[in-house]
Amino acid sequence: MAVQTLIERGFGDKEVEAMSLHQVAVLFTVARHRFLLEQAIKYVSLPYPVAIAGIDEAIEQAKQEPYIIPIARRTFPGMRGPRIAIAQLEREIAVLRVLEALRIFGARHQGLLPERLEDIKAVPVPVDPVTGQAFVYLRDGEKAMLRGPVLRDTPLSYEIEMVRSQE
């Protein structure tokens, strides 16, 4: 398998035959590590639910890899952290956009909150980038709650209340 992998990676037959067993083993290990790394990296820029599932799948594949020295098993789980940090930032921006949409709605409706986020028509209301679905929005009289699942030990929970001017 090692020889075939190196040939597929562009080494010539004679070139591989001339290599020592150790050189073949090291180059094969590097090639397998690169392949598994590429399997994980290709998911990073996708939406969070798809990205984290793909990264987790690549991590599991690396854990099962019989050819790689334990480097992949130790380094690949670290790929989750940066993607989660990106998701947190995406979520913060999405929450700010929802809050601004609520402010715009309130400005056009005598300071009232909408019954549902779908009632906001003036601007697009983003979905929660962590779930790919609408934020949980619950209105209770003059107040509303905006919620989402926990991400990195941080729950998403905002209490919203419109303050009407006394003019």
Task: Name the domain count of the chain.
Answer: 2
pLDDT confidence of residue 151: 86
**pTM: predicted TM-score of the whole model, two decimal places:** 0.76
- Which run of H or of E encompasses 28? helix 21-41
Asked if residue 76 and residue 7 are part of one domain, the reply reads: yes
The last residue of one of the domains, among 65, 84, 103, is: 84
The vertex-73 CA angle with 132 and 43, nearest 5°, equals 25
Asked if residue 97 and residue 57 are part of one domain, the reply reads: no
Note whether residue 167 is domain-resident: no
pLDDT string in tens for the chain (167-residue length): 788 878 888 888 888 888 888 888 888 888 888 888 888 889 988 999 999 999 999 888 888 877 666 677 777 778 888 999 999 999 999 999 999 999 999 999 999 999 999 999 999 999 999 999 999 999 998 999 999 988 888 889 999 998 876 65
